[in-house]
Amino acid sequence: MNTQTLTSPSLFSRLPIAELSLLLTAIFWGTSYGITKEALVYTSVLAFIVIRFGLTSLLLMPNYWRDTRKGLTKDWKHALPTGVVLLSIFLAETYGIFHTTASKAAFLISLCVLMTPFVEAIFNKQWPHKSVFGFALLSVVGVLLLTQNELGWESLTLNIGDYCILLAALLRACMVVSTQVLLKNKRLSALNITSIQANVVTVGALIVFFMSDNAMTHLVPIEGNFWFLAFYLVIFCTIFALFAQNYGVKHTTPSRVALLTGSEPAFGALFAFIWLGESFSTMQLIGGACILAATLMATLQGKMASSR
């Protein structure tokens, strides 16, 4: 009698590896908001950004220099502006997470999917598809409901953290468009682009750090839990997520990519509920569902249009 082991090629080939990788990416990205909020208990926002991207730079450096010796990074200058945009994104996003709940941040940041067509329309001087306006309206309703604690519009509350997350979502949309323009037909792998961007973010955050009144001790937190959280973000939410997303995009359908990665806000809210004990009112749950639905529909439409 033959038994099939886990290492059997026939069994491995039947596993939905692409779908699993995308699902893991959505899960890890969803957990990043709660993990970041907990890490900020031990250090300042600027120090946290320096540490996270400094570690990313160090881990990716061997691969970058290996590709440099092969002549594969000659277009590195074109990635520098995207690093500046990424620095702005993480400044806004991390400050936002510090001042608002992790679950609310996970939903609000997903609005970048809906903002991207409008940013692209401004650049191309061409209106987006009319359905995008419907998705945008649904997402606005979702934001209004998400920022309510009780019934009645008089309870509408947007704090500084919410505004920072909305700014980060807009900057993410700008990042998508600028990356398409600046790096089109350039000879740079996704991993090398990430390496260059991590270097820019690290240096930029260090400059801002030294210009502020942050204590130097913020750069070297002594709590072991902080370093566990930092390495988790670097390894799973940055490096692994990049590989997993690229693999998934190449080996499955656009609709599945949209559905799996678009579930990030839901995982973010669930993780914040379990890890941090955050909770939603009924109105906020409806608002989060509206944002998630609008994001998924907009992403699905974009993927189907690009595949035609």
pLDDT attached to residue 160? 92
Digitized pLDDT (tens) for each residue of the chain, 308 residues in all: 444 444 444 444 555 677 788 888 889 989 999 999 999 999 999 999 999 999 999 999 999 999 999 999 999 999 999 999 999 999 999 999 999 999 889 888 888 878 888 888 888 777 777 787 888 888 888 887 777 655 454 555 778 999 999 999 999 888 888 887 888 888 888 888 889 999 999 999 999 999 998 889 999 999 999 999 999 999 999 888 877 876 776 676 655 665 666 678 888 888 888 888 888 778 888 888 888 888 777 766 655 555 55
Residues 6+ apart with CB under 8 A from 94: 36, 40, 45, 48, 49
Main-chain dihedrals φ then ψ at residue 217, nearest 5 degrees? -65, -20
Q: Where are the domains of the chain?
A: 19-307
pLDDT attached to residue 258? 59
In the numeric block, which tokens belong to residue 150?
Answer: 């009780």
pLDDT attached to residue 12? 44
pLDDT attached to residue 244? 80
pLDDT attached to residue 284? 80
Contact 269, 107 (CB under 8 A): yes
In the numeric block, which tokens belong to residue 162?
Answer: 């919410």
pLDDT attached to residue 276? 86
pLDDT attached to residue 179? 82
CB atoms inside a 10 Å sphere around CB 256: 18
pLDDT attached to residue 62? 95
Measured CA to CA, the distance from residue 292 to residue 95 in angstroms comes to 23
B/e letters for 102-139, b = 16+ CB within 10 Å, e = fewer, are: bbbbbbbbbbbbbbbbbbbeeeeeeebeeebeebbebb
> Chain-centre distance of CA 88, in angstroms?
13
Cβ burial of 281 (10 Å; 0-12, 13-18, 19+) is middle
Of 123, 226, 138, 135, which Cα lies nearest the Cα of 175? 123
Entry pTM: 0.82
